[in-house]
Chains A and B, each alone.
Chain A
Amino acid sequence: MEKVTMAGAINRALRDAMAVDSSVVVFGEDVGALGGVFRVTDGLAAEFGSERCFDTPLAESGIVGMAVGMAMNGFRPVVEMQFDAFAYPAFEQIVSHVAKMRNRTAGAVTLPIVLRIPYGGGIGGVEHHCDSSEAYYAHTPGLEVYAPSSAADAYELMRAALRRSDPVVFLEPKKLYWTSEEVAFSSLSSSSLSSPSAAALSSSPSAAAVASSPLAGASVAGAAVAASPLAGASVAGAAVAGASVAGAEPGRAVVRRAGTDVTLIAYGPSVGVCLSAASVAFLEGRSLEVVDMRTLVPFDDETVCASVARTGRAVVVAEAAGFGGVAAEIAARVSERCFTALAAPVRRVTGFDIPYPPPAYESFHLPSVDRVLDAVDDLQWEDA
């Protein structure tokens, strides 16, 4: 077992993939000597040379467009969009080319590109640095969209992304970058390339339960979770189903915590909030199950529906603005597929339909444990 942050885990995944696959190249803004503003590419240029990891001019469309050409010509580019909102200049390349090339060439040209996007709020960032932009990508046919919630998942999903022949938008929750967890990296590098489940990783029991960011002290939103007197309990209390979480792979959600009364459905930065909420609810006598989607595309209807069929109630939790978002899609899917099992309407707890607010207002905007519990309270228990 080894203590590793999510940033460190992604860095390790990139390093391990680059070591065994010479077609993997990493480029973007400040990813070379600096190692990225979040240090996710730290040391890669030094270890693999400036032809494998290099800085580009400051032009996101050019970065993604160049990745398209390199992928057409034998490489497996990993590009970093420095922040969520900084990816928007590349939107046309992503939507019109990255996502569509396989289809418009009837499978002749595939683009195995990984678009890394540090995303989401909770770090006290200023405007343009905290967007939850997953809906744009998940809405675009041809893009896979991953959103890990733990360091172990981040490692395995990145390795999986680097084995896919389709482009992957890899959403890295910024507020979890520096969250440490114990991960068993037992058999790394070449052996882990062979199959998606051979990454030889397993989360420690308490891995995903550490909801609060290490930046929580500096961040209002993080404090909303961390300041709870029950935060300590949440770490221990959440260690239920996570104890033997299988290796993450695309299209397979995981039940992070088993429960009987309500299914909380989340991904990326909201999973920890849900686990904390489940811990609090447990003390109040309610048993909440937490499903971590891990990947939004492919989407695992099966695990979600199986859980809701057991619990009969569902709350979807996501940081992004709710209107037209991924949480809305999940709520709709649950309503369509699990209607007869539902004892109450599916609820959503999301960011509000406002531009991402400044640091002092973050806690009002981001889904908090209290808002999740309020939504749970609202699920027509009198009829149960």
Chain B
Amino acid sequence: MTRDPAHLLPSADPVQLIDVEGKRVRDDVRIPEATDLVRAYGALVLGRRFNEQAYALVRQGRLAVYPSSTGQEACQIAAAHVLDDGDWLFPTYRDAVAMVARGVDPVETLTLLRGDWHCGYDPYRHRVATQATPLATQLPHAVGVALAAKLRSEPTVALAMCGDGATSEGDFAEALNFAAVFAVPVVFFVQNNEYAISVPLSRQTAAPSLAHRGIGFGIPGQRVDGNDVAALLTVLGDAVARARAGEGPQLVEAHTYRVQAHTNADDDGRYRSADEVSAWAPRDPLLRLATYLRASGLLDDAAQVAFDTEAERVAAALRASSPAAPDPARLFAHVFAEPTPQLREQAALVRDELSREVEV
């Protein structure tokens, strides 16, 4: 049986609703409500400040590492804002800002990166899965969560995030295929930021776009300007709505750019030019939305100050936080429901060593 794949094809160009000048374009596509745009703007301001503060904490040696989403905040905010409370978000290591936008405590979000052994938050509280480091491995989890919900006839949608590099992984293909075969409500959201550490997109795929990769799985793909939060809210929101309505999985590719190095440990000067990076500055997601909101009379100085104040409050909380004192006993507590006899012996060994250190 063959079906005309035309309905699965993404648009020729990424959907854009607010251009780099901050002007409304594409009148044929619905733009989000003003309140949603203003709320998104506040979250963008907070997200940018979060990224900057986390990066600073790395330079001070207070975070082990931070994969920044500076420049990609529109994707982060939209991913969180299009979901209902009962939905699930599956973030990667670069998606801390999306987690914060979803409601996870900003300090808890950085628990692992601050050097603790656990993720720092209860994934069930805000329905935010643990940040996945192994690429694309969280995508099949999202499929499972969605299938479980579907079997119970719950309206849950799972939104699973990944980057352009992760689309080359086997788990990306397996997750899309399973999701399509079982017709589960998952939105696969690819942030195409042009680089997988040092390797450009041209080395990840020869497909016309990453959104086109859905066709082979029978999944509709869509492309969106990843620095236009209005377009992201509309495109991702529509994808979530279709998934929730029983139309099966959706694939959305956002075209964005990783403005900073992969992490603080990366030297991006070795694989891209400063000119290339600076060319993205005018396309900044905050700048663009601020211009649009100002011109539309939706944002004034007082509102800006309020957003900045809230962002500074969160930044101060990040600065004030410090890792818990290491308690080696806890390392043995959650390997199994009940520690095995061997783990109990090893925990006792550590306790014994520590008690003798105190005596010296």
Contacts and interface: CB of A to CB of B under 8 A. Distances in A.
A72 B141 contact: yes
Contact of B178 (A66, A72, A103): A66
B124 A62 contact: no
A57 B174 CA distance: 8
B233 interface: no
A109 to B, nearest CB: 5
Interface in B320-341: 333-337, 340-341
Contacts of B141: 65-66, 68-69, 72, 97
Interface stretch (A171-179, A198-206, A293-301): A293-301
Contact of B122 (A71, A105, A297): A105
B177 A62 contact: yes
Nearest to B149: A73
A311 B177 CA distance: 56
Interface string A35-79: 000000000000000010000110101101111111111110100
A84 interface: no
A237 to B, nearest CB: 33
Interface residues of A, number: 47
Interface residues of B, number: 41
Which secondary structure characterizes the binding site on chain B? Answer: helix
B178 A73 contact: no
B130 interface: yes
B139 A65 contact: yes
B96 to A, nearest CB: 16
B144 A109 contact: no
Interface string B112-144: 000001110011100001100010010111111
Contacts of A107: 333-334
A165 B340 contact: no
B145 interface: yes
B151 interface: yes
Nearest to B90: A69
Nearest to B124: A108
B337 A61 contact: no
B341 A73 contact: no
A341 to B, nearest CB: 19
A102 B174 CA distance: 24
A166 B343 CA distance: 15
A288 interface: no
B144 A61 contact: no
Contacts of A105: 118-119, 122-123, 130, 334
B98 interface: no
A354 interface: no
B136 to A, nearest CB: 9
Contact of B118 (A67, A74, A104, A165): A104
Contacts of B334: 102-103, 105-107
Interface in A83-111: 89, 92-93, 96-97, 101-110
A72 B173 CA distance: 21
B341 A298 contact: yes
Interface of A: 25, 51, 56-57, 59, 61-62, 64-75, 77, 89, 92-93, 96-97, 101-110, 141-142, 144, 164-166, 251, 297-299, 301-302
Given A92-B171, A298-B340, A301-B341, 8 more contacts: A57-B177, A62-B175, A65-B174, A66-B141, A72-B141, A101-B130, A103-B117, A107-B334
19 contacts: A61-B174, A65-B174, A67-B144, A68-B144, A69-B148, A70-B148, A73-B148, A74-B148, A92-B137, A92-B171, A102-B335, A102-B337, A104-B118, A105-B119, A142-B336, A144-B336, A165-B337, A297-B340, A301-B342
